[in-house]
Amino acid sequence: MWYSWVYDQFILSNSLAYSIKDCNAYIAIPANTKKLMVSPKQRSAADQAIPHQLTRSQKSRVKIPKKISIGVLLALLSCLILSFQNIIIYVIFNQSWLFGLQNVQVGGFVAPGFGNSLLILWLKMLVVVPLMAFVARLLYPSVWRDIRRCALSGDLPLFGQVVASSFFLFLSQVLIYLSLGLIQPGVAITIFFIYPIVTVILTGLLFGNRTPLFPSDLFSPHLVRQHLVRALVIVGVVGGALLISLPSLAAKQPYSALGVIAAAGAGLSFAVYIILTQVSARKLNPIPYSFINFTLILVFSSLSLSFPLDQSWRFFVEPTQRLAVYFTCLGLGVITLVSYLVQNLAIRLIGGRPASIIGSTAPVLTTVLAVAIIQQGLGLQEIIGLFLVTLGVVTLSMEKLRHQSWKRSQ
């Protein structure tokens, strides 16, 4: 690894420096300059400093891989928590046998639908927003000052971008909840993970190529390789999404096709949210930005539930199931905040791009948890689709990381 090479050079340079000191101590000099000679005590002190310095360097050399390994574990834990949250949302809408035990049946508290998806999101945000107000202060002490400065800045484009990004995140959440209620968790999350490809395509269409028309490095091996990899990734992810969608589309179960469409719509909405966030987050720290997002999601879900929707779009909870729904949404809110905290720590340790690479394993983790907890497995065709989408998204994230390193080296 690059950091290993840097520390090797650091240790070598220290060793060479101390070797030069030792050589100077033993150089023969005239007798009239004996006072300038280094005494044996001084030489022994210098000799003793060598292992001390090497030990300190070795300690710092050990700390960085340890720091990275902790960051990787935290990123995996955050992804695992989010995958577990997907299973909980599925269980809220569908009765399931827990761990395959015939006498342990859970879930099915509300019927899957748009109104009930809004209700679950609203109840969850009622927990997340107050807790986030407390946690944001711990993570970033200047959170309220930044929010106040943003509110008083009069920057209308920034206001519009923040509100729009929050709306598309809200829409994405509602649609993925709807999808999780209608189709298997592994299928829904895999289709949702088309969003990195949609983000790349939309970014190219909206912002275009900001480089010159005929740049000097247009046909450089790196750029040619980058475009080729992106083309193959797009083909692979789209093909994988189609493979995993076809069984649900062809199924005779009601609303399966709606679940696929909702998952794809969630991925598209999330891609728009990412683009708007990339544009507006440059003017605002991510933590106050996230708090504003969560608060606006609570506002949007509150307004949506208060609208006079059609009967088929309204929420409805049986009186006997209300307590179960309340406690489950309380758990969802706590899980969401814990996942946010763990992910924030992981990004601080290993950076955003490596954390996103690990986050790309969410479809696989969701599928594994679905099989283990509620016995919801996938067929061979769906597994191939899952593999293609996950491989494509991981490859795209790694290529972006490689491209960033290449740009820094230019």
Q: How many domains does the chain have?
A: 1
Residue 208: the pLDDT is: 62
Residue 404 belongs to some domain of the structure:
yes
- Confidence label for 36 from pLDDT (cuts 50, 70 and 90): very low
What whole-number distance in Å separates Cα of residue 182 and Cα of residue 254?
A: 9
Residue 384 belongs to some domain of the structure:
yes
Per-residue pLDDT at 11 exceeds 60 = no
End-to-end CA distance of the chain: 20
- Confidence label for 219 from pLDDT (cuts 50, 70 and 90): low
Residue 351: the pLDDT is: 83
Region 240-267 average pLDDT: 90
More confident residue, 218 or 369: 369
Position 403, amino acid: H
Tell me the sheet residues that pair with 97.
105
Residue 335 belongs to some domain of the structure:
no
Residue 354: the pLDDT is: 84
Residue 240 belongs to some domain of the structure:
yes
Residue 294 belongs to some domain of the structure:
no
Residue 120: the pLDDT is: 95
Region 244-252 average pLDDT: 86
What whole-number distance in Å separates Cα of residue 168 and Cα of residue 270?
A: 6
Residue 211: the pLDDT is: 41
Residue 24: the pLDDT is: 40
pLDDT tens digit sequence for 16-34: 333 333 334 333 344 444 4
* Host domain of residue 209: 204-249+379-409
Residue 188 belongs to some domain of the structure:
no
- Confidence label for 64 from pLDDT (cuts 50, 70 and 90): low
Residue 401: the pLDDT is: 72
Q: Which of 336, 262, 335 is nearest to 294 (CA)?
A: 336
Position 113, amino acid: G
Per-residue pLDDT at 86 exceeds 90 = yes
More confident residue, 63 or 240: 240
Residue 58: the pLDDT is: 52
- Confidence label for 308 from pLDDT (cuts 50, 70 and 90): confident
- Confidence label for 410 from pLDDT (cuts 50, 70 and 90): low
Q: Which of 152, 135, 159, 169 is nearest to 294 (CA)?
A: 169
Residue 81: the pLDDT is: 94
Q: Which of 132, 45, 124 is nearest to 92 (CA)?
A: 124
Region 232-253 average pLDDT: 89
pLDDT tens digit sequence for 155-173: 888 899 999 999 999 999 9
Residue 398 belongs to some domain of the structure:
yes
What whole-number distance in Å separates Cα of residue 215 and Cα of residue 79?
A: 40
Region 177-187 average pLDDT: 94
Region 298-308 average pLDDT: 91
Residue 405: the pLDDT is: 67
Residue 180 belongs to some domain of the structure:
no
Region 77-106 average pLDDT: 89
- Confidence label for 90 from pLDDT (cuts 50, 70 and 90): very high
